[in-house]
Structure 1
């Protein structure tokens, strides 16, 4: 009789995924990202290459891969990024080899990026990408949250609100849309999406061998 119990408790080999969280400023993606990283040891934040100066307390390879503009431009020319953008005079890019190697090993990556970066990633890595967009329950609530931070001027908040509406217009470019009317409920829904996506048959690369073993004559 064949013994099918030896690997019963071993996790099946799985391909990792790229879990994208996007939202307008104040809708909760940073908070949800931090909660997810604290809860789930199997997902880690994607580390970008940047030309921004390293700040005190930041760790090379953990917060960012720091480089200069000339090196960054060479990486762009050599197509080493899955996506990249220039923001406020500094460049940020997602290194292709780092992500692809991790996915092959079953590592999940979390991305806190906007709709433009999401489009770039999806165009290049469609089968590995899961896109989640967080919406505020209303514009009035979004304005209240931005004001409650007490870190921005009235003009800055007005600018953020205008950009928020522009970003919200891209909601239909995502696989999932979650309304963040309560941070805990929103987080639970995001976790459910992640767990379901991990179980997709196409990502369970160890299933073929596992099922063949189950079908062996006993």
Structure 2
């Protein structure tokens, strides 16, 4: 019997480390496929070319009109979106998106596993944002979004993981994903992420 792919949503505030974590998870798990999101924001200095599919606003809006996105959202002055995923056979799907997108995915796919990554503190988050080159105004804006993002994640039943130690966080999220795979394989369907909501 063919098993449906597990849909895993990794969200979290800017500076929580979710991009790094997503790359590490995919790097250690050959059954995990990372969907590449689109954005209208400019590419940052030193940012890999494959971090996003960087497009202009007109191209993005045309994709919206064509129904090409699983989810999309405005964040600040830019738009971000995830095309309908087409993973290789036998692979589960990892989406690295914000909580607005996670809400849309939950509405379409109640069975999805939602993971929410947090920085250990606001000061840690601010430091990570500055290191990647964000302006002070952008850092303040990102920090101000935090309480609302955390509340949304809990409302959606996301599993909350604090990224205090990267290696431990990768291991913890790997265990969570493997547990949901086991449930899917036993039940013949993915177990709702809502049932595993809570902080870890």
Aligned to 1:164: 146
Aligned pairs for 1:1-218 (under 5 A) are: 13-49=2-38, 58=49, 63-64=52-53, 69=58, 72-87=60-75, 91-96=79-84, 99=85, 102=87, 105-127=89-111, 129-147=112-130, 149=131, 151-172=133-154, 173-201=156-184, 205=188
Paired residues of 2:38 and 2:52 also in contact (CA < 8 A): no
Which stretch shifts more, 74-83 or 169-178?
A: 74-83
Deviation at 1:116, TM superposition (A): 0.5
Change in Cα spacing, 1:181 to 1:123, as seen in structure 2 (3 Å) is same
**Unmatched 5+ residue regions in structure 1?**
1-11, 207-218
Count of aligned positions: 186
Change in Cα spacing, 1:199 to 1:65, as seen in structure 2 (3 Å) is farther
Deviation at 1:13, TM superposition (A): 3.9
Change in Cα spacing, 1:152 to 1:193, as seen in structure 2 (3 Å) is same
Per the alignment, in what secondary structure is the counterpart of residue 151 of structure 1?
coil
* TM-score, length of structure 1 as denominator length: 0.68
Which stretch shifts more, 162-171 or 182-191?
A: 162-171
- Distance of 1:34 and 1:155 partners within structure 2: 28
Per the alignment, in what secondary structure is the counterpart of residue 19 of structure 1?
strand
Paired residues of 2:42 and 2:54 also in contact (CA < 8 A): no
Change in Cα spacing, 1:162 to 1:58, as seen in structure 2 (3 Å) is same
Aligned to 2:198: none
Q: Relative contact order: is structure 1 or structure 2 higher (C-alpha 8 Å, sep ≥ 6)?
A: 1
